[in-house]
Structure 1
Amino acid sequence: MSDNGGVAADQLRALIERVERLEEEKKVIADDIKDVYAEAKGNGFDVKVIRKIVSMRKRKPHEREEEEAILDLYLHALGMAGPVMDEA
């Protein structure tokens, strides 16, 4: 390992090359995801809704419930949601 000005050049180069490989893998995966969404759209699914579901499933149930409750509250405050139905 060469040492230029206190920098381990070989180690630095290896780290940079790893990041570059991972960035390329990330691009391939992003392209694969894009293809899956295109397939979903081709089969008549609403891609915007699928993206929302994927996003929701990443969060913990209590986080999702809290967000949904706040969204419902805001929608009601803006008159954008129907009246709250009493459970029988």
Structure 2
Amino acid sequence: MAEPGGVAGDQLRAFVERIERLEEEKKVIADDIKDVYAEAKGNGFDVKILRKVVSLRKKKPEEREEEDAVLDLYMHALGMIGAAPESNY
């Protein structure tokens, strides 16, 4: 039933409570992930690289190839790696 201002209070409250529960679950999961990274670090793994690997595994191969090509181009332009291959165009 609509209340003053056209807002169904019970429905709104239900949405807010669901969001709050999900936010709490998200926090618990984030804490669990943090614990796994800490465990990996304790076993000698480089957490920064591990995060990068997880990030890369989320991407499609063609996305990774495109990013690698652009990164290579930028690094060449900045002189961070050898000269860019000559173009025959």
The TM-score bracket by the shorter chain reads: 0.7 to 0.9
Tell me the number of residue pairs that the alignment of Structure 1 and Structure 2 aligns. Answer: 85
In 1: Cα distance, 2:83 partner to 2:36 partner: 38
TM-score by length of 2: 0.86
The answer as to whether partners of 2:73 and 2:84 remain within 8 angstroms in 1 is: no
Q: Does 1:8 align with 2:1?
A: no
Name the amino acid aligned to 1:5: G
1:76 Cα deviation from its structure 2 partner = 1.6
Residue pairs, 1:54-69, within 5 angstroms: 54-69=54-69
Residue pairs, 1:23-42, within 5 angstroms: 23-42=23-42
In 2: Cα distance, 1:3 partner to 1:35 partner: 45
Name the amino acid aligned to 1:60: K
TM-score by length of 1: 0.87
Structure 2 CA distance for partners of 1:40 and 1:82, relative to 1, 3 Å: farther
Structure 2 CA distance for partners of 1:83 and 1:40, relative to 1, 3 Å: farther
- Consecutive unaligned residues of structure 1, counting only runs of 5 or more, are none
SS of 1:25's partner is helix
In 1: Cα distance, 2:82 partner to 2:41 partner: 30
In 2: Cα distance, 1:74 partner to 1:25 partner: 40
